[in-house]
Amino acid sequence: MSSFYGHNIKLSIFGQSHSEAIGVTIDGLPAGFEINFEELQRFLDRRAPGRNAYSTGRREADKPEFVSGISNGKTCGAPLTALIFNTDKRSADYDNLRDIPRPSHADYAARMKYNGFEDSAGGGHFSGRLTSALCIAGGICIQILKEKGIDIATHIDSIGGIKDTRFDMADIKKEDIEKILSKQFPVIDKDKAAEMLKIIDKAKKSGDSVGGTIECAAIGIPAGIGDPIFDGMENRISQVIFGIPAIKGIEFGNGFQCAALLGSQNNDAFCISNGTISTKTNNHGGVLGGITSGMPLVFRVAVKPTPSIALEQDSVDMSLMENVKLEIHGRHDPCIVPRAVPCVEAAAAIAVYDALLDYKQ
């Protein structure tokens, strides 16, 4: 299993893209929390495949079956385990990949680690399919955080160079969160949606793919959450975020942009607002010294283009040790970004809730 060991929440994800089922076990959830299963399913549906023209043609219900940890509709303190059964598999599409690694996939690295016994169908345990299990855990954490006044939302920051309007990092309101969560194609500037969809369609028709960035914001987090050095909020969030395949980078607040600024431009001046200490700007993205400042927590992630493309590519035959040409079959997203949006929310929620359980008021 692939596991995240937080200070309080322990999370293990298991299964393969084409195994009978995939699933998740979560330990550390509070007893007595009533999960809204309809709301959880709506959250999972945002990530599920086969829902629109810009995602893979694989069609999965992604309806979780809870086998432990729930009693009378509420968490009971025991580890919670949920399964999602894979019903739309076409493993034969991957027969030609047994000895030929796909460029920018984990195929070659997996062969070196598992000596040829790895499951290559659909990417096996490395597949983005397993983010549905991550979203079960994150979807539950989102519900718990919401009860505590903490809200999380993400939007598509860019696709193929087309950029959306970003959050106003110093002033993100609950209605901003609710508005972006209500959108099927989550962008702040609706005019950018059409441009992004054109970029995705162009890549799909040419047999190629396109990447992008996602911006996430969490509001309502009190100041004082997290720890310095190795257990900072950036560290905790990043650890879970990189459990999402295709994520290649993360930045908080101004991120890499601050490297081109003067200290006087990047510093956030403190002020008193409505009887509370805050900052006039939020270039730090809500985290100082690894600890939350009470300002909105804002970060962005980079999502690489889907490596499985229809265009012919160069590769090697690992058994014959020969250079070969590769054509990839199967069903793949021309752009991973839209379906990765709820995955980023899920990862953030897991990390934030784990840190919040350390908080002493």
Confidence of residue 360 (pLDDT cuts 50, 70, 90): low
Give the CA distances from residue 106 to residues 223, 308, 326, in Å, rounded to whole numbers and listed in that order. Answer: 39, 11, 16
Let me know if 32 is exposed, middle or buried by CB neighbors in 10 A (0-12, 13-18, 19+): exposed
- The pLDDT of residue 97 is above 80: no
Structure tokens belonging to residue 49: 């495949």
Q: Is residue 361 part of a domain?
A: no
Name the domain count of the chain: 1
Confidence of residue 118 (pLDDT cuts 50, 70, 90): confident
Give residue 174's pLDDT.
96
In a domain? residue 280: yes
For residue 85, the surrounding DSSP H or E stretch is strand 80-85
pTM above 0.85, yes or no: yes
SS3 content of the chain, % helix, strand, coil (to 5): 35, 25, 45
Query: In 3-state terms, what secondary structure has residue 68?
Result: strand
Pair 305, 247: CB distance under 8 Å: no
Q: Is it the case that residue 207 has pLDDT exceeding 80?
A: yes
The separation between CA 279 and the C-alpha centre of its own chain, rounded to angstroms, equals 28
pLDDT given at position 116: 85
Residue 92 has pLDDT above 70, yes or no: no
Torsion (CA) 286, 338, 246, 38 in degrees, nearest 10: 80
Say what the pLDDT of residue 168 is: 97
Q: What is the pLDDT of residues 40-62, one digit of tens each?
A: 999 999 987 766 666 665 566 78
- Residue 7 lies in domain: 2-356
89 band by pLDDT with thresholds 50, 70 and 90: low
What does the alpha-carbon distance between residue 31 and residue 76 come to, in Å, rounded to a whole number? 5
Q: For 270-321, write each residue's pLDDT tens digit.
A: 999 888 999 999 999 999 999 999 999 999 999 999 998 989 999 999 999 9
* Distances from the Cα of 102 to the Cα of 54, 95, 108, 118, 319, angstroms: 22, 12, 8, 14, 15
Question: Tell me, what's the pLDDT at 94?
Answer: 65
Question: Distance between CA atoms of 112 and 157, rounded to whole angstroms?
Answer: 36
Angstrom distance (rounded) from CA 153 to CA 164: 15
Helix axes 131-147, 37-47, angle to 10 degrees: 140
What's the rounded mean pLDDT across residues 342-351? 98
* 116 within some domain: yes
Which pLDDT does position 329 carry in this prediction?
A: 78
pLDDT(166) > 90: yes
CATH number at residue 224: 3.60.150.10
Give how far Cα 160 sits from Cα of 54, 122, 185, 205, 337, Å: 14, 25, 15, 15, 10
